[in-house]
Amino acid sequence: MQLGIYVHLPFCPYICPYCDFAKWPVRRSRASAYMQALQAEILAAHSEPAATIFYGGGTPNAYDAYEIGALTRLLRDHFPSPRAAHEISIEVNPELVREGDFAHYVASGINRLSIGAQSFVEPEIAALGRKHTPQQVERVVELARAAGIASVSIDLIFAIPGQTAGSWSRSLDSAIALGVDHVSTYGLTIEAGTPFERWHEREPGAFAGDDLEAELYGMAIDRLERAGYEHYEISNFARPDHRCAHNEQYWRNGEYLGFGVSAASYRGGERRVHTRELDVYLAAAGAGGPIPGEAERLTGIKAVGEAVMIALRTAQGVALQEFKERYGVDVAERYAPVVARYESDGLLERRDDRIVLTRRGRFLANDVCGAFVTFE
Ligand code: SF4
């Protein structure tokens, strides 16, 4: 089975008020120490083939492009591709991109870009506490194309305070007009402990209600599908041959190794998550030792429920025969009451040998998918 590699680069030029990722404001000395610790952690790992590499964060391009290039070469040597080439993705903040960055990226093997656009409407970008402009996003797409990046994706957020159906429509139109290969759309979530949580407590009316959120999500599905994007996962749309292979690895319940602070791995049925404490990570990785964190072994029906939950979020849904062969469980039989209930509600349907979410089911995916995890 193929392997995916995730690398967490946790530094950002500033901290967005809705974010609960493991991230810190960038400081040169700390970022250098982190890069060294990360390289030590990678070199201490067993060298083996891996099909995909993904840089997430944080803001990976808070690092200079030549540093990312060097890290990419190290990863490619340590985790050689089993095929002609890896898929290597990097998330970028558009305001930090400099002329010439992508030449370094392409030379090192990076072939997929995920741009944190979030919106093409300036007051919405400002409401998220971000400082880039829609014009910077357009320029980044142009630079990426000119440098030969094979696949360009943008992230959009809906249910932003102040957003309307009209303004969301403008963001979708802008993304489509740019001709990007892939679009991820995420509903804004209010995370515990963030400034947005406190804002939400003070002024709940500033945030979109469930009806508006559902309307905006429905608009994304309609508009992007009409423009030729396949809705291949609840939050993701791709032109033909531009699905994100790295994320598909997660959704197939495949194995992956995570490097860096807070990074998660899934191997041999065990999920491990590294510490979120930066200093603890730096000390452990720098010493070449194991990284403190948490481990959980998913076994039996719990493992099957999790796999069903992830698979249902994709357009392929749950392939019954494949699940039987891999987990020894007939999902239709084992979860018959859950399947029957959501089929009769019009949220799930059988398609050939598969169980998939209906269009209506995609709007209630968390409830439907979650029911397979809690079912005993
Ligand atoms: S740039 Fe991304 S990771 Fe950094 S603070 Fe903002 S949302 Fe969080």
Does one domain contain both 107 and 200? yes
By C-alpha distance, which of 262, 291, 264 is closest to 24?
262
What confidence score (pLDDT) does residue 146 get?
97
What does the alpha-carbon distance between residue 14 and residue 30 come to, in Å, rounded to a whole number?
15
294 within some domain: no
Q: Provide the residue range defining the domain that includes 18.
A: 3-250
Does one domain contain both 56 and 118? yes
- Residue ending a domain, among 191, 225, 250, is 250
Does one domain contain both 35 and 123? yes
Does one domain contain both 197 and 134? yes
Q: Which atom of ligand 1 is nearest to the CA of 93?
A: 1
Q: Are 155 and 116 in contact (CB under 8 A)?
A: yes
Alpha carbon separation from 118 to 6, 12, 313, 328, 364 (Å, rounded): 22, 16, 22, 41, 23
Cα(61) to centroid(ligand 1), Å: 12
Q: Are 280 and 34 in contact (CB under 8 A)?
A: no
| Phi-psi group of 125: left, alpha or beta (phi > 0 → left; psi -120 to 50 → alpha; rest → beta) | alpha
For residue 58, cis peptide bond before it (omega within 30 degrees of 0): yes
264 within some domain: no
Q: How many C-alpha atoms does 232 have within 13 Å on its Cβ side? A: 19
> Is any ligand 1 atom within 6 A of the Cβ of residue 373?
no
Q: At what angle do helices 28-44 and 65-78 cross, to 10 degrees?
A: 10
What does the alpha-carbon distance between residue 92 and residue 140 come to, in Å, rounded to a whole number?
9
| Residue entry with tokens 């392997």 | 3
Q: Which atom of ligand 1 is nearest to the CA of 57?
A: 3
> Is any ligand 1 atom within 6 A of the Cβ of residue 129?
no
Q: 338-364: per-residue pLDDT in tens?
A: 999 999 999 999 999 999 999 999 999
Does one domain contain both 223 and 364? no
At residue 182, the 3 state secondary structure works out as: strand
What confidence score (pLDDT) does residue 31 get?
97
Residue 202 burial (CB < 10 Å; 0-12/13-18/19+)?
exposed
269 within some domain: no
**pTM of the model as a whole:** 0.96
Does one domain contain both 48 and 174? yes
CATH number at residue 157: 3.20.20.70
- Residue ending a domain, among 235, 250, 265, is 250
At residue 88, the 3 state secondary structure works out as: strand
324 within some domain: yes
Does one domain contain both 76 and 196? yes
350 within some domain: yes
Q: Are 349 and 339 in contact (CB under 8 A)?
A: no
User: How distant is the alpha carbon of residue 226 from its chain centre?
Assistant: 23
131 within some domain: yes
By C-alpha distance, which of 119, 123, 92, 124 is closest to 105?
92
Cα(345) to centroid(ligand 1), Å: 38
Cα(14) to centroid(ligand 1), Å: 8
Does one domain contain both 310 and 224? no
Does one domain contain both 155 and 74? yes
Does one domain contain both 238 and 361? no
Does one domain contain both 122 and 217? yes
Atom 3 in ligand 1: residue holding the nearest Cα: 58
Cα end-to-end distance, the chain, whole Å: 29
Please count the structural domains in the chain. Answer: 2
> Is any ligand 1 atom within 6 A of the Cβ of residue 375?
no
Does one domain contain both 244 and 145? yes
What confidence score (pLDDT) does residue 318 get?
96
Atom 2 in ligand 1: residue holding the nearest Cα: 58
- Residue ending a domain, among 183, 217, 250, is 250
CATH number at residue 332: 1.10.10.920
172 within some domain: yes
Q: Which atom of ligand 1 is nearest to the CA of 19?
A: 8
Enumerate residue ranges in the chain where pLDDT < 50: none
What does the alpha-carbon distance between residue 327 and residue 165 come to, in Å, rounded to a whole number?
43
276 within some domain: no
